[in-house]
Amino acid sequence: MSNLFIYIKTPPVWYSNICAHLVEHCVLYRGNLSAKDFYDVCDIKGESYFGYTRYDIHKSINPQKFIQMLCKPLDKKVFAKEMLALKQETAEEIFPDILRKKVENMLYGTSSKWTVLYPTWAEVIAYHTTYYKKNILLICDSGYTILENNLAISSAGKRSLTVKKQDIVSINGEKNKVTILPYTHRKSHVLLYFIEFLYDTYMEYTQRHMKWIYDSPASCMLELAEYVCIAIPQRVKYQISSAFLEEAKKHFCSVSLHEYARKIEVINLLYIWQLPSDKDVKAFIQSIDSAMVKKVLG
């Protein structure tokens, strides 16, 4: 594997990942390096999700030295410049940003919480000091094999898999059926991830290949710290047969399962500190029936 992934649990502040995103910008600033030192680390990439931040580094980079770089004190001048860059970056909303706002509105009944609140220097320092610590991060390779885990693992407990909210919402002028599940059980992520795979492959099969419609609709799944959700476009009527569902499950379990199970290990550790196995995920996928699919897709 050519790359390593370093994950840091970075929870949202005021229903936003702006603070985590700004810290990511600041720790990856490389304008103070020589040309040689810059090219040693130029391929490092960071991405802030809603609950964690992932850094992608080449295997030739010493991960411990990189972690030291992440954890060293921030520079106030860099903060000021990166704040301007972040404001430019976040000026235009994309589909997942709009969906996230719609979901928060469904959950809390107001969109006022989504007024963008950019953090102060003091808030960024406090956030970085709290979450950028060697003893609370996770390292894996690009195949999602965990190489170092400093996150605690909890027992799964007896948690039910239930729909929190479901509604038809308009995003960019198109109706979408949005389903929200509490992220208190690893099956929440597995179910919606498989539904996303099922819907998107069904649309590719029926729209792109059977009807030659190039722009077929695609679903969008998001993790939101305490919740996981999916948006299903409603512009095309669909009816997934039991036979198609069984073939999708068979393909997923034989082709896609291993990589996904590795990935979900990481995601679940970051969100709910649970560690499923390939066997757990496979058993749950095989238990998904038409009634469960219909509950999400309609």
Residue 97 vs residue 77, higher pLDDT: 77
**Cβ pair 230, 192 in contact under 8 A:** yes
Torsion of CA 62, 63, 65, 67, to 10 degrees: 170
Is 83's pLDDT higher than 80?
yes
What mean pLDDT do residues 116-139 have? 89
What mean pLDDT do residues 279-288 have? 87
The whole-model pTM stands at: 0.79
Q: pLDDT averaged over the chain?
A: 85
In tens, the pLDDT along 210-264 reads 888 888 889 999 988 788 999 999 988 888 999 999 999 999 998 887 777 777 7
Instruction: Name which of 35, 119, 23, 112 is nearest 75 in CA terms.
Output: 23
All domains of the chain in start order, with CATH: 3-94+118-149 (3.30.830.10), 165-297 (3.30.830.10)
